A and B are shown apart, each in its own frame.
Chain A
Amino acid sequence: MKKELTRQQYLDLYYYMRLNRAVEDMMVKLFRQNKIVGGLYSSLGQEAISVGTAYALEKKDWLAPMIRNIGALLVKGVPPRDIFMQHMAKYDSPTKGKDGTSHFGDLDNLHIVSPISMLGDLIPVMTGVAMAGRYLGQKIVAMTWIGDGGSSTGVFHEGLNFAAAQKAPFVLILENNLWAYSTPVRKQVPLENLADRAKAYGIDSYIVDGNDVVAVYSTAKEAVERARAGEGPILIEAKSFRRMGHAQHDPAEYVPKEMRAHWEARDPIALYEKYLSSEKLLDSRNKQEIEEKINTLLIKDREFAENSPMPPPELAETGVYCTGDDCHKIRAKWERPIAEVTPPRSSVKAVWTVPGFGSGKGSGGANAPIHFGDTQPAAREVGNETNSANGGKPAAKMAAKAAPKKTVKAGAASASRKARR
């Protein structure tokens, strides 16, 4: 699986993993000083997944993080101070204190979609981003993450199935960290490999060691390239372990000690440092330079964050609605000739073709009967007068025009589609 990277790429991966951990370490300190307003969620031990996958994206690509993907945000270009301020609910944070944690985005520059706390919702949303990018000719890939826990939501299924049906350029990283809050994965899903879920959608999947950043990156890179080439969505299961509790308040005593010890011995940063040293890609001087760079950056950013004010109370009243062009200029960025998607070039014959059976048109014509509306409504009495509620138009007359223009030759497709409800 491992591919040759440039030295700079190897060092970038190292830098971002170290940065990810240092940012979170600093937030633990802030949390203990009561400077963080709400909960604090840790990705300790999972940094290789966030960093390795996001590093496989190009600048134009889109991502949507989950709560434990601070590393992906850093790779995409979010400054640490924004992450600090988000957690501290500061006025200068990307959401101006209206939301916390990794719940923020940037549509215009970094192409980041904000998550919400409900798991799985990002999957159809990022499918839509991928479809829009394809429609606009941008050749982008959309990526998001889901946990072992979130992979059991209904919208996970709806979203991934739709992405597959649309062959959307979409990559889904399933971070299997073995625990959904206090519930072990075996109690949630009767599968050895959660990547097997991909089979249900007819899409390809990979399983990767989530603590091996080079393997994660190489796998993600291949998946991103395949998705970009039009092969459809791809699921990557990255196997790892959630070393902290669900959030800071949770000591996670339900996790067996031996299990924790096993994974602590497989720390992704320690493993990678060992690899880099053995490959002569990192010496103690490089390491010290990187540490100093991170240290300097975080001290500066933490200071900035601490000095930012809390939002003024009245801010709570603002921003529910976009007020128009002065608020947001919404413009699609076309990177293909618009003529391709506008009439007459967009025109098609509206028929389904069923292999082996030919084609059929589903429509019954402009005067097809509607499901229920053509039954004769009861006359409605008002005071003394009687009034036909359908405007005096006999229902029978409307129904008479209902003869379909064309019968469906091969009804198999449309008949089965209509079998619901």
Chain B
Amino acid sequence: MAKANGSGANGGESSGTQVTFLEAIKKAMFEEMERDPAVILIGEDVGVYGGAFKTSEGLLERFGWERVIDTPISESAIIGAACGMSYCGLRPICEMQFIDFIVCAFNQITNFVAKGHYLWNAPAPMVIRGPSGGGVHGGPFHSANPEMYFVHTPGLKVIYPSTPYDAKGLLKAAVRDNNPVLFFEHKFLYRRIKGEVPAGDYTVPIGKAVVRREGKHLTIISYAAMMHTSLEAADALAKEGIEAEVIDLRTLLPLDEETILHSVKKTNKCLVVHEDTKTGGIAGEIAAILCEKAFGDLDGPLMRVTSLDTPVPYAPTLEEHFLPNAKKIFSAAKELARY
């Protein structure tokens, strides 16, 4: 997993320290709250307990009860209240204890928060963040990847980072953005990966993908935990003489078409890997973009390795079958490379 860190466009300053994905998120919130008293945190058990995953540990001690707000189990109230606060010039960060529960506030997000700027010129500078994704045997209600419900909603921005550097820089950018931003944190990465994070303040631009590994034979597009799995597969492919270029989308909305097109026009082949289920996943959207804008450049079909079109099952054997893995990516890439 170390390969993801410091490679590509986002190599940090050397004076930085190695931190986990989770620590990077915590630092981003801490620093933004230090920087701007308009930034507050609101969610279930974010205060005294420090969040179910300890992402907000220490924030209550530092910033007090008015800025770190424990709520009842009411996702619509969390999102609604944060939206009202954002109308008054605050920049709330909402925590969904598990991102699965974001759909409890679906109406509030998609109808109220997302449409305000378009309809009545009301910006809602707020961040909705929470632990997402599977691979940790959380079962059908604690493993979701609900990003595409929201990628289909104009007015939102959707971020799904894969490295500590990006997590910190993108979360800071999200807090400073004038739009509602959804920030998905893959919980498999929380304490499993470490990466260099510079000491000073920095942001990572929303809407920019990054090339994690250069290659010439095919392009693998992925994000979040599957970005790391894709890099593992790329290593294995390299041993067989297939050089895969790996793109980390980082932001799903707006999608960085330029980086995608630039790479595919070079490699002429594209494989999309995501942990989200297959039907209606971002791979379909990328396929459409390639057909519209790079049809003549394609030397093979767009292929995809995704989770099954089922709920996330609980038993480890079932979940492992459900999820993509490096072996599945490896096989698909080999097949694609033959074209």
Chain A interface (Cβ < 8 Å from any Cβ of B): 94-95, 98-99, 103-105, 107, 113-114, 116-118, 121, 123-133, 135-136, 142, 154-155, 158-159, 161-162, 165-166, 319-324, 327-328, 330-333, 338, 341-343, 346-352, 361-364, 366, 368, 370-375, 377-378, 380-385, 387, 389-391, 393, 398, 414, 417-418, 420-421
Contact = CB atoms under 8 A, between A and B. Distances in A.
Given A321-B155, A338-B37, A383-B330, A348 B187 contact: no
A94 B119 CA distance: 9
Interface in B299-329: 316, 320, 325-327
B57 A363 contact: yes
Contacts of A118: 107, 111-112
Interface of B: 1-2, 34, 37-38, 40, 45, 47-50, 52-54, 57, 60-67, 69, 71-92, 107-108, 111-112, 115-123, 125, 135-138, 141-142, 154-155, 157, 178-179, 187-188, 190-194, 229, 232-233, 235-237, 239-240, 316, 320, 325-327, 330
A385 B125 CA distance: 46
Given A161-B72, A363-B57, A391 B115 contact: no
A382 B73 contact: no
Nearest to B45: A417
Given A132-B90, A320-B154, A346-B67, A371 B81 contact: no
Given A159-B77, A322-B178, A383-B239, A128 B83 contact: yes
B34 to A, nearest CB: 7
26 contacts: A105-B120, A107-B87, A113-B87, A116-B115, A121-B111, A124-B74, A124-B84, A131-B84, A159-B80, A162-B71, A328-B121, A330-B123, A347-B61, A347-B63, A350-B60, A350-B61, A370-B54, A370-B187, A372-B136, A380-B229, A380-B325, A380-B327, A382-B235, A382-B236, A390-B192, A391-B193
Most B-side CB within 10 Å, residue of A162, A351, A364: A162
Contacts of B72: 158, 161-162, 165
B64 A371 contact: no
Contacts of B71: 162, 165
A343 B62 contact: yes
A363 B77 contact: no
Contacts of B316: 378
B142 A389 contact: no
A117 B154 CA distance: 18
A103 B63 CA distance: 36
B89 A124 contact: no
Contacts of B45: 362, 417-418
Contacts of A385: 235-236
A15 B72 CA distance: 43
Contacts of B235: 382, 385
Contacts of A391: 1-2, 192-194
A132 B88 contact: yes
Given A135-B40, A346-B62, A384-B236, A124 B48 contact: no
Contact of B118 (A319, A327, A393): A319
Contact of A372 (B38, B87, B91, B142): B142
A374 B190 CA distance: 10
Given A107-B122, A128-B88, A155-B107, 4 more contacts: A104-B120, A133-B88, A366-B54, A381-B327
Nearest to A155: B76
Contacts of B64: 341, 346-348
A127 B80 contact: yes
Nearest to A417: B45
Given A127-B84, A331-B89, A341-B66, A362 B178 contact: no
B62 to A, nearest CB: 5
A383 B320 contact: no
Given A121-B112, A350-B61, A95 B67 contact: no
